[in-house]
Amino acid sequence: MLALSDDILMRIDKPARYIGHEYNAVIKDKADVDVRFCMCFPDVYEIGMSHLGIQILYDMFNRMDGVWCERTYSPWPDLDKIMREENIPLFALESQEPIKNFDFLGITLQYEMCYTNILQILDLAGIPLTTDERKDGDPIVIGGGPCSYNPEPIADFFDMFYIGEGETRYKELMDLYKRFKKEGKSRDEFLYEAAHIPGMYVPKFYTPYYNEDGTLKDFVPMDESLPKKIVKEIVLDFDKAPYPTKQLVPFMRATQERMVLEIQRGCIRGCRFCQAGQLYRPVREKNIETLKKEAIELMEYTGEEEISLSSLSSSDYQALPELVDFLITECKDRKVNISLPSLRIDAFSLDVMSKVQDIKKSSLTFAPEAGSQRLRNVINKGLTEEVILEGARMAFKGGWTRVKLYFMLGQPFETDEDIEGIGKLSNEIAKVFFETVPKEERVNGKVQIVSSTSFFVPKPFTAFQWAPMCTKEEFLDKAYKTRVGIASQLNQKSIKYNWHEADVTVLEGVFARGDRKLSKAILAAYKKGCIFDAWSEYFSYDTWLETFKECDIDIDFYTTRKREDDELFPWDFLDCGVNKEFLLREWHKAAEGVVSPNCKVQCQGCGAAKFGGGICFEAKNKVQ
Amino acid sequence: MKLRIKFSKTGDIKYTGHLDLMRFFQKLNRRAKLDLKYSQGFNPHQIMAFAQPLGVGVESIGEYVDIEVNSMDMTSAETVERLNSVSIPELKILQVKKLDDSAKNAMASVQGARYKVSFKEGKAPSVDVSALIDEYMAEDAILITKEGKAGEREVDIKPGIYEFKADSDGSFELFLNASSAGNIKPVQVFESLLAMNGEKLKDNALATLRLDTYEADDKGNLVSMGDVGEEF
């Protein structure tokens, strides 16, 4: 029986979002189940269904005896309204049963702009919005994912956070829960015991103290048995970790409709703006034979038309040529397309792409991130103009005519010359086309360059966590200068420029480096109707400004303020492996424009080697 | 080699749309490891033709899709079993037959569809529809307004209503034109019937089950699309 009536399903947009029944969805006999876990991606179904992390955890939980993991996503505003009017509790897709009766609600935190959607989920489910209000019998609300590396702005809404990779400790947590449930122990007794499992953070057992200027003074656990620093969990034997090859195949078109093969975790490149590059250290590669086996299983079990490799930097995977050859052979007969994101443009990747894509229709992507070499050194983006232009030259010779360029505006120490560099570099690439391809060979007649800029938000656990963020006005001024800079180029007709709105960036900046004081403002904004902030048609900047004012939240304190080297940050009680001394060294090197070589060239002593695994560790052992 | 697959789409998945169904079949055929024939070009796609798309909310026990394969090393029964082993219970493969190489595909040949229709709870009109059918079917023309790409236009649906009768259980059976050019939906029949009697069909009033889909044989008689082709 579906949770929603026929009348509702026939009245709302895309009812297939809410009915479950996806191929490879797991249905268990409730008689054999002790723990009901609902995994939630707090955004609309099509987005959530494209996320690999949920697939990994869904598969992992459902391999456990006695645990049934189901899924839920944010009801779109049309259904949200109906559910409120008709008091329909939020349900899990597989059983269609109310989440309120579950043991756990797990929420993945992929981006800051989903924070009000967390409250929407809790509210629609009928679960009290804050941990303090919840009672025995309410589900344990647990968060995870990249934003849990600064959980403080949403600390009030969660009973606990799982810091790090889910593969390692969930079994232990589930076993503890089963035991305590059988023994009739209370919610608080469970949370207290859980807080002693490595990687688990129970915010209500920790109290922040503040200085008069609003910065953090101290962050203290309730008693000495609780860890003062919580170390992230990490999978060391990546080949033995469970990986889902029976991935869910939705009826509806998901945003990314394809099977995903994760080839490695972590990144050797130390781009100073990049949070993922630090959070997932050290780099761990999956064995090529494991990948081959998984690729075949994925194709057999899903029937999807496209396979995509997942990693932060695929070109750095050592056995990539062998893997790609294997995939090209296997996919050819099966008519499966291969998608290779995050490839550096060079002779190898161009050769591969010419085999797997239609050159005429596809475009090449470069991510210089900054317009000038000086600024690329500041951000430690190891990509030179020479390399970009050479890559473009080879690509144009190979028949490509479309190039996409990605830049960020508002990175620390950026000057007007750096911004001018965006236009100049775009122009240089167009020039390379006209120099490389003789007139009679220009198939489409011309070259198409699309330059896009996003606004930079400093993130925790990066070298730029100390950096003042730009104001909205500064951002817009930079975008204007970029536009003018491009328009003044000789080849400006070949260059298209895209930029984003700055409002939402400001809010992202507040949350990214926010503290626990923000919880009440997020709650207040939600009560004023803010949901789906990541969607421009629903985002209301004015409501947020008004709410911050009412809650005495100073936006500039979180965004544009200069942070001293020795400031205690709200996320400093977490240990992601990369230590603060290393990040500070990187911050100072950025100020001087000095680059740091990548992990394979020279160890920078970031601290992640302490986990005793991954590439940096293996390399060291080889030397000895 | 052309194959015609007969299937049912019932239960909760009636809320998925036709494009969703097409994608489902593309993946189903791959999972079943059929030796599928693909179109030429850089982005080859499976050669596949559905009879008449099923609307969201409508169930069916008589749907058809034609596909092409390069070779086949199973019998009809084995193929049905293989496909069902990689499908979901709500989408059941009922029959697979081999079509003549010269056969037109399901989309081109579909002519009619038979439906069982009843009013959903609380959605019945105040008039007794069963008592009005004879009068309705005696009309020379039944004009309805169809919205097309070129705007609204008046269409006479009367020639496309082959049968319309009330069953003793309170439901209705309709046999309607289902060709690409002249498809008539049960809801259009009920709307027009009620309009003639000064009433309006309520929103989402009809529970509709498509019983079977038909094409014309050499003599122009309508035959079930499932009767065309041979078991192998």
Instruction: Quote ipTM for the complex.
Output: 0.95
Domain of A607 in residue numbering reads as 580-623
**Domain-located, residue B141:** yes
Calpha distance A620→A68 (Å, rounded):
42
For residues B49 and B180, the answer to whether their CB atoms sit within 8 Å is no
Residue A351 has pLDDT above 90, yes or no: no
CA nearest to A253 within chain B: B20
Q: Between B21, B86, B120, which is nearest A6 by CB?
A: B120
**Domain-located, residue A13:** no
For residues A48 and A41, the answer to whether their CB atoms sit within 8 Å is yes
- Same domain flag for B124 and B24: no
What dihedral angle (degrees, nearest 10) is formed by the CA atoms of A111, A115, A117, A123?
150
Q: Are the beta carbons of A251 and B42 separated by less than 8 Å?
A: no
Q: Are the beta carbons of B16 and A251 separated by less than 8 Å?
A: yes
**Domain-located, residue B147:** yes
CA angle B128, B129, B135 (to 5 degrees): 115
**Domain-located, residue B227:** no
Q: State the nearest Cα–Cα gap between B154 and chain A, in angstroms.
A: 27
Q: Between B28, B38, B90, which is nearest A303 by CB?
A: B28
Q: Which residue of A2, A330, A335, A354 to mutate against B (max B Cβ within 10 Å)?
A: A335
Helix (H, G, I), strand (E, B) or coil at A590: helix
- Whether A19 has its CB under 8 Å from any CB of chain B: the answer is yes
Among B108, B143, B162, the domain boundary falls at B108
CA nearest to B21 within chain A: A251
- Same domain flag for B35 and B63: yes
Question: What's the pLDDT band for A333 if we cut at 50, 70, 90?
Answer: confident
First to last CA, chain A: 63
Nearest CA-CA partner of A513 in A448, A579, A468: A468
Angle between helices A170-182 and A52-63 (to 10 degrees): 50
Nearest CA-CA partner of A577 in A196, A266, A313, A315: A266
Calpha distance B119→B28 (Å, rounded):
34
- Whether A13 has its CB under 8 Å from any CB of chain B: the answer is no
**Domain-located, residue B38:** yes
Q: Between A7, A21, A305, which is nearest B204 by CB?
A: A7
Residue A39 has pLDDT above 60, yes or no: yes
**Type of residue at A480:** Y
On chain B, the residues whose CB falls within 8 A of the CB of A2 are 12
- Same domain flag for B183 and B123: yes
Calpha distance A338→A306 (Å, rounded):
6
Q: Are the beta carbons of A6 and B56 separated by less than 8 Å?
A: no
Which of A131-145, A343-357, A600-614, B84-98 shows the lowest per-residue confidence on average (mean pLDDT)? A343-357
- Same domain flag for B180 and B91: no
Residue A622: its pLDDT value, please? Answer: 61
Helix (H, G, I), strand (E, B) or coil at A81: helix
CB contact set of A450 (below 8 Å; sequence gap of 6+) = A363, A402, A403, A404, A405, A495, A496, A497, A498
Q: Which residue of B10, B14, B15 to mutate against A (max A Cβ within 10 Å)?
A: B15
Q: Which residue has the tokens 């204007």?
A: A480
Q: Are the beta carbons of B17 and A16 separated by less than 8 Å?
A: yes
Residue B151: its pLDDT value, please? Answer: 83
Q: What is the mean pLDDT of residues A352-381?
A: 88
Q: Are the beta carbons of B23 and A251 separated by less than 8 Å?
A: yes
Q: Indicate the number of domains in chain B.
A: 2
**Domain-located, residue A589:** yes
Q: Are the beta carbons of B204 and A10 separated by less than 8 Å?
A: yes
Calpha distance B73→B232 (Å, rounded):
10
For residues A243 and A265, the answer to whether their CB atoms sit within 8 Å is no
- Same domain flag for B118 and B215: yes
Residue A386: its pLDDT value, please? Answer: 92
Calpha distance A504→A520 (Å, rounded):
19
Nearest CA-CA partner of A563 in A586, A587, A581, A589: A587
CATH of the domain at B24: 3.30.70.580
CB contact set of A480 (below 8 Å; sequence gap of 6+) = none
Long-range contacts of B36-43 (CB under 8 A, 24+ apart): B36/A335, B36/B67, B36/B68, B36/B69, B36/B70, B37/B67, B37/B68, B37/B69, B37/B70, B38/A335, B42/A358, B42/A361, B43/A337, B43/A358
Residue A464: its pLDDT value, please? Answer: 98
Under the phi-then-psi rule, with left for phi > 0, alpha for psi from -120 to 50, and beta for the rest, what region is B77?
alpha
Q: Are the beta carbons of B13 and A21 separated by less than 8 Å?
A: yes
Model confidence pLDDT, tens digit, residues A150-170: 999 999 999 999 999 999 999
Calpha distance A624→A603 (Å, rounded):
15
Query: In degrees rounded to 5, what are phi and psi of residue A436?
Result: -85, -40
Nearest CA-CA partner of B165 in B114, B203, B97: B114
- Same domain flag for B115 and B218: yes
Residue A621: its pLDDT value, please? Answer: 66
Q: Average model confidence (pLDDT) for chain A?
A: 94
**DSSP 8-class letter at A89:** P
- Same domain flag for B161 and B193: yes
Which of A9-13, A214-218, B180-184 shows the lowest per-residue confidence on average (mean pLDDT)? B180-184
Tokens of B108: 């081109």
Q: Are the beta carbons of A252 and B16 separated by less than 8 Å?
A: yes
CA nearest to A3 within chain B: B12
On chain A, the residues whose CB falls within 8 A of the CB of B31 are 300-303
CB contact set of A396 (below 8 Å; sequence gap of 6+) = A432, A433, A436, A437, A447
- How many Å is the maximal CA-CA distance in chain B? 59
- Whether A135 has its CB under 8 Å from any CB of chain B: the answer is no
Residue A620: its pLDDT value, please? Answer: 65
**Domain-located, residue B229:** no
CA atoms within 13 A on the CB side of A77: 10
**Domain-located, residue A602:** yes
Question: What's the pLDDT band for A271 if we cut at 50, 70, 90?
Answer: very high
Residues of B with CB under 8 A from a CB of A: 12-13, 15-17, 19-21, 23-24, 26-31, 33, 36, 38, 42-44, 56-57, 86-88, 90, 120, 203-204
Angle between helices A77-85 and A115-125 (to 10 degrees): 30
Calpha distance B83→B3 (Å, rounded):
13
Q: What is the mean pLDDT of residues A101-108?
A: 98
Calpha distance A321→A306 (Å, rounded):
19
Q: What is the mean pLDDT of residues A308-314?
A: 93
CB-defined contacts A:B, below 8 A = 73
- Same domain flag for B198 and B175: yes
- Same domain flag for B95 and B134: no
Q: Between A21, A299, A305, which is nearest B12 by CB?
A: A21
On chain A, the residues whose CB falls within 8 A of the CB of B24 are 23, 251
Rounded to the nearest angstrom, the gap between the alpha carbon of residue A324 and the centroid of all alpha carbons in its chain is: 25
Q: Are the beta carbons of A16 and B12 separated by less than 8 Å?
A: no
**Domain-located, residue B155:** yes
Residue A190: its pLDDT value, please? Answer: 98
Calpha distance A511→A109 (Å, rounded):
12
CATH of the domain at B190: 3.30.70
Helix (H, G, I), strand (E, B) or coil at A76: coil
CB atoms within 10 A of CB B93: 21
CA nearest to A332 within chain B: B44
Model confidence pLDDT, tens digit, residues A572-623: 999 999 999 999 999 999 999 999 999 888 889 999 999 988 887 776 666 4
Helix (H, G, I), strand (E, B) or coil at A410: coil
**Domain-located, residue B228:** no
Q: What percent of chain A has pLDDT over 70?
A: 98
Domain of B216 in residue numbering reads as 111-222
Q: What is the mean pLDDT of residues B101-116?
A: 92
Q: What is the mean pLDDT of residues A365-385?
A: 93
Q: Are the beta carbons of B86 and A15 separated by less than 8 Å?
A: no
Residue A342: its pLDDT value, please? Answer: 76
Calpha distance A616→A603 (Å, rounded):
7
- Same domain flag for B102 and B118: no
Helix (H, G, I), strand (E, B) or coil at A302: helix
Query: In degrees rounded to 5, what are phi and psi of residue A508?
Result: -60, -40
Residue A257 has pLDDT above 70, yes or no: yes
Q: State the nearest Cα–Cα gap between A512 and chain B, in angstroms.
A: 37
**Domain-located, residue A601:** yes
Tokens of B96: 């697979």
Residue A53: its pLDDT value, please? Answer: 95
More confident residue, B151 or B11: B11
**Domain-located, residue A195:** no
Q: Which residue of A23, A299, A306, A330 to mutate against B (max B Cβ within 10 Å)?
A: A23
- Same domain flag for B92 and B149: no
Nearest CA-CA partner of B65 in B81, B78, B79, B47: B47
Q: What is the mean pLDDT of residues B17-42?
A: 93
Helix (H, G, I), strand (E, B) or coil at A380: coil
- How many Å is the maximal CA-CA distance in chain A? 81
Q: Between A21, A303, A335, which is nearest B90 by CB?
A: A21
Q: What is the mean pLDDT of residues A314-342?
A: 91
Q: Between B27, B56, B57, which is nearest A249 by CB?
A: B27
Q: Are the beta carbons of A300 and B23 separated by less than 8 Å?
A: no
Q: Is the peptide bond prior to B89 cis by the omega test (within 30 degrees of 0)?
A: no
Q: What is the mean pLDDT of residues A504-513?
A: 97
- Whether A356 has its CB under 8 Å from any CB of chain B: the answer is no
Nearest CA-CA partner of A108 in A72, A156, A65: A72
Calpha distance B179→B213 (Å, rounded):
10
Residue A624 has pLDDT above 60, yes or no: no
Among B51, B83, B108, the domain boundary falls at B108
Calpha distance A50→A255 (Å, rounded):
6
Question: What's the pLDDT band for A444 if we cut at 50, 70, 90?
Answer: low
For residues A294 and A307, the answer to whether their CB atoms sit within 8 Å is no
Residue B17: its pLDDT value, please? Answer: 95
**Domain-located, residue A465:** no
- Whether A501 has its CB under 8 Å from any CB of chain B: the answer is no
Calpha distance A66→B6 (Å, rounded):
39
Among B88, B108, B128, the domain boundary falls at B108
CB contact set of A25 (below 8 Å; sequence gap of 6+) = A93, A94, A248
Q: Are the beta carbons of A303 and B36 separated by less than 8 Å?
A: no
Q: Are the beta carbons of A300 and B17 separated by less than 8 Å?
A: no
Beta bridge pairs of residue A37? A69, A104
Residue B44: its pLDDT value, please? Answer: 83
For residues A138 and A174, the answer to whether their CB atoms sit within 8 Å is no
Residue A358: its pLDDT value, please? Answer: 74
The 3-class secondary structure across chain B, one letter per residue, is: CEEEEEEEECHHHHHCCHHHHHHHHHHHHHHCCCEECECCCCCCCECEEECCCCCCCCEEEEEEEEEEEEECCCCHHHHHHHHHHCCCCCEEEEEEEEECCCCCCHHHHEEEEEEEEEECCCCCCCCCHHHCHHHHHCCCCCEEEEEECCEEEEEECHHHEEEEEECCCCCEEEEEECCCCCCCCHHHHHHHHHHHCCCCCCCCCEEEEEEEEEEECCCCCEEEHHHCCECC
On chain B, the residues whose CB falls within 8 A of the CB of A303 are 26-31, 86
Q: Which helix (H) or strand (E) holds A285?
A: strand A284-285
- Same domain flag for B7 and B84: yes
**Domain-located, residue B54:** yes
Q: Indicate the number of domains in chain A.
A: 1
Question: What's the pLDDT band for A410 if we cut at 50, 70, 90?
Answer: very high
Which of A81-85, A348-352, A376-380 shows the lowest per-residue confidence on average (mean pLDDT)? A348-352
Calpha distance A166→A58 (Å, rounded):
11
Tokens of A1: 């029986």
**Domain-located, residue A613:** yes
Q: Return the top range by mean pLDDT from A339-343, A443-447, B18-22.
A: B18-22
Residue A347: its pLDDT value, please? Answer: 84
Nearest CA-CA partner of B66 in B231, B229, B207: B229
Q: Are the beta carbons of B15 and A19 separated by less than 8 Å?
A: yes
Helix (H, G, I), strand (E, B) or coil at A105: strand
For residues B81 and B228, the answer to whether their CB atoms sit within 8 Å is no
Helix (H, G, I), strand (E, B) or coil at A575: strand
